[in-house]
Every structure is written in structure tokens, then in C-alpha cells.
Amino acid sequence: MAEANQLQKDKCQLMTSKLINCFILKLIRLFYVQKDLTPPQEASVDIYKASQKAYNNALQHKEYQILADLWKNCMNSYLTLRKFLGHPNTCKLLNGWHPLMEKKNMMLSTAECRKNNPPPPKQVPKTAAVIPT
């Protein structure tokens, strides 16, 4: 029984990886081979669709570790793709991208974006020096 469960788990994990890799490779192939730059919005929709298929598959088999790994892989792929396509608003578009994103993850990614992209320093108004009498 344990072997059958492990076999099913491995099969589910393999299908999950294949789905994600298939879509990522498809997007990169479009860029390199056909020189057809996929807009970041379309690319993110394709990754989202792939992740939804893999998510439903893992959920059906109650493979929660796969779901956690899937979320990490999707986010990494999404960030890599956005950087690859040179989109300037990666941080803004990250918020709310995926329904699996928990508030904690959103706050962490936002904090990391702020850390990596600090706001410009505030201008300090120049005042005349006070001369003691």
C-alpha cells in the first residue's frame, strides 16, 4: 500500500514538473526561435494556466508538499520571465498575481522589493543657520 502511494506521489510530482517546464520552455522558445516577444501579461497568463492544472492535479491527490513546491516554482519562473522580458514593474505586478499567495508571502515579497529598490531620498529643506547672540 505504501509503495502504491509513493508511486502515485512520484507520478503526480513528475506531471507537475512537466506541466510547468513545458509552458516555460514554450515561452522561451517563442522569444529565441521566432523572435516574437511575448508580452509579459500573456506570459504570466500562460504560467498561471499551467500552475492551475498542476495545482488541481496535486490537490486531487492531496499532495500538499507539491503545492508548496509548485507555488515556489511558479513564483520563481514568473519573476525570471519578467526580468527576462525586461518589464520594469515586476514588484507591482507581483502583488495579487496568484490566488495561492498568502498575505505573509505578499508582505515578504513587497518588503524584499522595497529593500532592493529603495525610494529616492527625501529633499531636506534648506534653512538659514541660526546665529547665537
pLDDT average, residue stretch 106-113: 59
What was the pLDDT predicted at 37? 45
Place 101 in a pLDDT band, splitting at 50, 70 and 90: very low
The yes-or-no verdict on residue 113 having pLDDT over 50 is yes
What was the pLDDT predicted at 60? 72
pTM: 0.26
pLDDT tens-place string over residues 2-28:
777 776 666 666 666 666 666 655 555
DSSP assignment of the chain: -HHHHHHHHHHHHHHHHHHHHHHHHHHHHHHHHS-----HHHHHHHHHHHHHHHHHHHHHTT-HHHHHHHHHHHHHHHHHHHHHTT-TTHHHHHTT--TT--HHHHHHHHHHHHHHSPPPPPPPPP-PPPPP-
